[in-house]
Amino acid sequence: MKRSPIFGWLRRTPKDSKPASSPKEQPGEKVSQPGSPSRKHEQALQAARAAWGKTAGGAQSPNGNLGPAVTPEQKHIKTEAAKPEVPLPSKAAVSRDWNAIRRPLLWSGLLLVLVTTASLGFFASWVRGLDISKLEHPLPEPSFVMDAGGQPVSQLSSSRIIPVPLTDIPADLKNAVIAVEDRRFYEHAGFDLWSIGRALVRDLQSGSLKEGGSTITQQLAKNLFLDSDKTLSRKVKELGYAIRINFAYSKDEILELYLNSIYYGEGRWGVEGAAQQYFGKPVKELTLAESAVLAGLPKAPTLYSPVKNPDKALERRNLVLSLMKEQGFITESTYAKTVEQRITLKPNNGESLKGQYPSFVDYVMDEAERLYGFTEQQVLTLGLRIHTTMDVKVQQAAEEVYRTDALFPAGPGDRPVQSGVVVLDHRTGSIRAIVGARGDQVYRGFNRATKLKRQPGSSFKPLAVFGPALERGYNSDSWLYDGELDIGGYRPKNWDGQTRGQVSLREAVLRSWNIPPVWLLNEIGVDAGMEYVRRAGITLPAADRNLALALGGLSEGVSPLQMAQAYGGIANQGVMQRAHAITRITTKDGQPLIEASQQPTTLTAPVHAYTLTQLLQEAVAFGTGKAAALDGRPTAGKTGTTQLPATPEFASIAGNGAKDAWFVGYTPELTAAIWLGYDKTDRNHYLTTSGGAVPSQLFREIMTRALAGVPVTPFPVPEEVLLAAQQAHQARQAARHNAGRDDGKDDKPQREEKKDREEKKDKKKDKKEDDDD
């Protein structure tokens, strides 16, 4: 039987098989004769077999030699001396050799199959176990902070992605991306063997892993789950994730995820952000030429940037167009027309609302969490529309002032004098502006306008002393003690070191003396002051229940926001409105989630608030707050300055420096509180100004800008005050009338006497005329 040329050697030979003997003559068959060429060949073959048998340890033959036995017919053959020839193995010997290696080969092949199968099984199991749940959730959508007029003023997001559905992405852009990145995208199973093979060849030629060969699915996997290292292990992971994603999502879903998450340069992820960045329009409005520019960017966003390298960007765009033509996405004529177009960039006018007004936005975040239960992650990812009370004009006025270094004291150089301001509409409690720092403001950084706690100094006197005193019968002209004072060891001093025996309450406010309000608080009781402060929205610890309360000597201090809200109660005729920044929160589609509500509370009676406003107007017009006065606009307010600590560190500069400086004031429209100082006060960092200087000037600058164009109005007068004034006027009129009537009675004799004289005069005149006649 003829053996198979390939697998014949694998056939098993029986163990008892023996070498074949010489062929015998058969009928009709001629046997070769000695001396013939065939005979010589037979002789040589026999000799070789004999030699092989000897070498192989064959058995003793009948003729006494090792090797195969010789037949009688062969005995007479004379063996010629032959040249040495390469011995040829017998078929049986060949079988024995193959038998020796056949089993290892079979087992090796079987083992290879098993290992390959196991590896594929392990790989498949590993792929099935890969966690791609990150793709199951919608891409995070940015939330927007809206101003009081409903316009977006700031963007909040945990990423730089603005996701758009695939239906909003032009077909030209989708085709361009497929043409340049993954032409067999809709055909392969997440990886492309042709691309991998091509990349492998190039890698072998270069001697390193330079070519990616990555499909769109692989790029998506790398962007979301892996790093960018070009290592073999990372490529294997990339392949596994791509396969997993391919079997879990449709091709359109994968393409949408890819287009919304890939980096396009200039700090932009996703096609919507890229379209806005480069062309100033939404992605759905892109032209073919613009789509080709964006499609060419992901490979090397900086190299092909139309901003940084316009020539390279043009070359790359035209390559994309060429590939689109080659793959049938566009016609020859469309290609010819489009490649002639220049790349025209349009500045993004909405250049990132992200990062605008950080101090105000910081407080909006706090309020959303504190009052309405949103987490920071929810605010950053749910695409909310947070409507606020911000007045952009007022906010920009405050920020402009805070950017003007000339308005602030010069520090030692290593760190600036810091400050914070809150401006609100006291009629509603609406916060119009917040600036929490000078210089660069860090997102979610320390906001000195809302989080700082410092002693307010004399700016606390209207809340802790004068307000409650008016409620207890004192008035502007009441006399207060101003002499040496020692109450339980507490010995306040006036800022000028002088005493005047006694001063009116009006003068105590005007000149910001210290002894009179301490004496007055002691008279009305510390609890009265604590209660008034509590009604003003400031909760103090029990440690502050002492006479130092009169001068703002608090254990923890207050923030500008708290002071603005408290003074707003005075400005609003004694009605407290809670300071707030959020009015409502909706979804991006306008569905309401939160509607803020206000619950006004009473601080004091309108008549007392009005009296306090008159006192504070005089403090600005004639007292320590003159620098805060606005031209032609009613202004009320109070300064505050706290001294350096009485410690050895400041002993040599005592009386020549301050720790904190304040001004809190209001107009009929707005209330503002300003703090000035260092974050950390030491011998090299302390103030050489007071509340009546820089903070008052800052108030004037901010209010002048914020109220530009707003009609001037007076402070409202309470009905009770108007009624009292009307009654007083009527009383004066009645008194005047009564006085006139009494005078008439007294003048009667005189009028009669005058009448008699005039009558006598007339008679004389008539007599003279008669005589003349």
Torsion sign across C-alpha atoms 649, 653, 655, 659: negative
Cα 712 from Cα 705, distance rounded (Å):
14
DSSP label at 601?
A: E
- End-to-end Cα spacing for the chain: 195
- Answer yes or no: are the C-beta atoms of 270 and 162 closer than 8 Å: yes
Q: How far apart are CA 379 and CA 365, in angstroms?
A: 8
Residue 414: DSSP 8-state: S
CB 665 within 8 A of CB 672: yes
Residue carrying structure tokens 């392990």: 122
Among residues 176, 145, 154, 132, the alpha carbon closest in space to that of 274 is found at 176
Phi and psi torsions of 422, nearest 5°:
-130, 130
CA quadruple 202, 208, 210, 213: dihedral sign: positive
Task: List, in sequence order, the alpha helices (H) in 302-456.
Answer: 310-326, 332-339, 358-372, 376-381, 392-402
Task: Write the DSSP string, 270-328.
Answer: SHHHHHHHHHSS-GGG--HHHHHHHHTSTT-TTTT-TTT-HHHHHHHHHHHHHHHHHTT
Active-site residue 181, yes or no?
A: yes
- In degrees and rounded to multiples of 5, residue 745 shows phi and psi of -65, -40
The helix (H) or strand (E) run that includes residue 123 is helix 91-129
Pairing status of strand 385-388 against strand 143-146: parallel
Catalytic residue among 261, 458, 690, 696: 458
Long-range Cβ contact pairs of 648-655 (< 8 A, separation 24 or more) = 649/682, 649/683, 650/683, 650/686, 653/683, 653/686
| DSSP output for 698-761 | HHHHHHHHHTTTPPP-PPP--HHHHHHHHHHHHHHHHHHHHHHHHHHHHTHHHHHHHHHHHHHH
What does the chain come to in residues? 773
CA dist 607 and 195 (Å) reads: 85
Q: Which of 143, 137, 138, 136 is nearest to 158 (CA)?
A: 143
Secondary structure of residue 639 in the 3-state scheme: strand
Helix residue spans in 514-670 (DSSP H): 515-524, 526-535, 560-571, 606-622
Q: What residue type is assigned to position 669 of the chain?
A: E
Distance CA 623, CA 626 (A): 6
C-alpha 434/C-alpha 686 separation (Å) is 24
Q: What CA–CA distance (Å, rounded) separates 612 from 666?
A: 12
Q: How far is CA 547 from CA 409, 479, 515, 612, in A?
A: 32, 19, 11, 21
Residue given tokens 């760190």 in the structure block: 415
Residue 419, Cα to own-chain centre: how many angstroms?
23
Q: Which phi and psi (to 5°) does residue 635 adopt?
A: -140, 135
- Tokens at 300, concatenated: 């090397």
Phi and psi at residue 724, in whole multiples of 5°? -65, -40
Single-letter amino acid code for the residue at 624: T
367-to-47, 182, 375, 588, 601 alpha-carbon distances in Å: 108, 47, 11, 19, 20
User: By C-alpha distance, which of 76, 94, 119 is closest to 10?
Assistant: 94
696 is catalytic: no
- Residue of 42, 181, 256, 701 marked active site: 181
Helix (H) or strand (E) holding 467: helix 467-471
Catalytic positions are 181, 458
